[in-house]
Structure 1
């Protein structure tokens, strides 16, 4: 395998049960093997993607002092701007070569959540920035729900098992800017090798390459989706919930060749998080004599707090 497997969401949405089951089988095997797929026929259209990238590039082009008006370390970077080099991979101290923004959940008033989410910060310089970001957020959230429904069936759960946990969940849309590299990086890369914290991550096409996935045999391979595909991977929460049946694969964003250092990179992942009160206790469907329970019981909120501290966003 020299690239990640590709699946078509229209198969799962089809009234043809054979096509639907084929999708479940293919995505399930891919997530047990490499933890990544590319997905076509999702709910995010090309025009919205273009609008979002235009707004994101305009924001990151603002002067640094203007961007820092939207940075609030008191909320562990969960909304607004996070400046260059603040985040690092778990187990590392060298900051990644990136800056980013966070759009977060705007839950309905009747959502009955056990927590209160921070408000999204409004960028006054860009009147369309927030509306465009939240439109993309909703389309990615909708896509993610269907992917989780397929995975629920693969695991042996009721199809809508995840729906109530991710509805109003603490999901994050993160536009990232990797600026041009000016001087020789001292061991730093655009994003160090890591696994994601959440249930699943959806990544729309980055402006340049660089994303690599660690294969079972220890080889790094480039993740190269088609232009209209999303890259979707398993996060640590889902790996833990499924007792390692579904794999949260280590991945990274490598620096480009030196002749391309002057080229910035933009990337926009959507991190699908559940509500904080969701138990991540290993599912009984994934525990047996050959696969004993590998993790202690914990909630999604507790796990998130631990990991935010490990990557430098929370004290």
Structure 2
């Protein structure tokens, strides 16, 4: 028997266009429900112009269409979390402490840009590594088109934290202290193996392995091509695609910690979309709003009581993100991700 699984749709217009208190309260209640039950949201009314979305897609197409050797010129050291990532050079499941059958077998390729030290003058040297300088490929229009979308996605992410504060009964501006110099990264993904690549289409081939996102909230633009799968509470994987005009939003680990798992940092993955024996191309762009590197995140007092003891010790964003990146990009299993790893192992594949 099939199990019904739905990602709730929420319209943010009341927050984007100064809605009434009652309208905003209704949105906050809907977001609270979605975050409790699913951890993913179909977001409408986000206000991102169509031409900005089209520009992002065009920029990604132009970059990823280049020969692999040309794209490799833009590879950066893994710790910098910038630049080009070739296919099969990461394993997202290791960010959860789960050993993959074959390490570094995720076949997606990606390009990362993010906030740099220039955006936040005076950052301590100890955390400056999270704010690496961007390199921009020599592709006409790429920097301008990607930058335009980056700023729009950042606005949507900040708007969502305003909704989160209301939904959790926190003071207005609560998230400012956690994210006024946030580690913000846009990862543009292309799921298509380079032409001529030898590949066996079997159970070991993974577009992007099981993982949770690292920070506060993720804003995802994606094609309506199947591939993204979300783990439901019953332990089964479900296909999810964005609705017409919607951005997909999901919570990261730090929000799960903050809410003591009242809200879910939902496991998700990308399985190869295979049509007539070949991998169908799929694109996505994930904007990660991860919070200040030097912020300390632990469960809110309002989310702890006798029935809900604290599930996590406080951790700095720096420590948490470093451990996750070391798993996915360097191949060091993240031993701290105990709760998330157990959920992967218990899931029905």
Matches within 5 A, 1:50-129: 50-73=54-77, 75-88=78-91, 89-90=93-94, 91-93=98-100, 94=102, 95-106=105-116, 111-114=121-124, 115-116=127-128, 117-124=131-138, 126-129=139-142
Q: Secondary structure at the match of 1:183?
A: coil
Q: Tell me, yes or no, if the aligned pair for 2:107 and 2:191 is still in contact at 8 Å.
A: yes
Matches within 5 A, 1:235-246: 235-246=252-263
Segment drifting more, 151-160 vs 232-241: 151-160
1:178 maps to 2:216: no
Matches within 5 A, 1:41-56: 41-56=45-60
Q: Secondary structure at the match of 1:170?
A: strand
Q: How far did 1:65 drift?
A: 1.7
Q: How far did 1:314 drift?
A: 6.8
Number of the residue aligned with 2:267: 250
Number of the residue aligned with 1:134: 147
Distance 1:70-1:238 versus aligned 2 partners, 3 A rule: same
Matches within 5 A, 1:295-314: 295-313=312-330
Q: Secondary structure at the match of 1:76?
A: helix
Q: Tell me, yes or no, if the aligned pair for 1:150 and 1:159 is still in contact at 8 Å.
A: no
Q: Tell me, yes or no, if the aligned pair for 1:85 and 1:98 is still in contact at 8 Å.
A: yes
1:38 maps to 2:60: no
Q: How far did 1:164 drift?
A: 3.7
Gaps of 5+ in 2: 333-349
How big is each residue's C-alpha offset from its partner over 1:73-116, in whole Å with a ceiling of 9 and x where there is no partner? 2x525111111111112213432111100011146556543332
Aligned pair partner of 1:147 in 154, 160, 164: 160
Distance 1:128-1:26 versus aligned 2 partners, 3 A rule: same
CA distance in structure 2 between the aligned counterparts of 1:121 and 1:140, rounded to whole angstroms? 20
TM-score, reference length from structure 1? 0.93
TM-score, reference length from structure 2? 0.84
Q: Tell me, yes or no, if the aligned pair for 2:273 and 2:281 is still in contact at 8 Å.
A: no
Segment drifting more, 201-210 vs 145-154: 201-210
Runs of 4+ in 1 over 6 A off after TM superposition: none
Q: How far did 1:281 drift?
A: 1.6
